[in-house]
Amino acid sequence: MRSLINNKGYKEVLKPYLEAKRDQSFPDPSKFKNEDEFLYAAKVTSVFTKTVAEILLWIEEKEQAIAFYEAKKEGKENNKFDIGG
């Protein structure tokens, strides 16, 4: 996981692409021939946006967990109120 997070391609290409897709609200209605096509595209966009947001959140959570366990391993994390602390 750490190699993905630290990968230059992920940081500079994939992550910005996913963030842009996550932030895209809905398709442009002017690009569709009829309302059915637009509604289908809007539904697909909604599902895709939620999926991308979940992936980005999952990666962020893993990144935080890695940082926490590395700090704990080095003795830098000393919060006795954390579970397992």
Tens of pLDDT, residue by residue over 28-66, are 889 999 999 999 999 999 999 999 999 999 999 999 999
- Which tokens go with 44? 């697909």
* Contact in structure between 45 and 24 (CB atoms under 8 Å): yes
Residues 55 and 2: their CA atoms lie apart, in Å, by 15
Residue that the structure tokens 């569709």 belong to: 32
* Contact in structure between 56 and 19 (CB atoms under 8 Å): yes
Give the other-Cβ count within 10 Å of 77's Cβ.
14
Look up the pTM and report it. Answer: 0.73
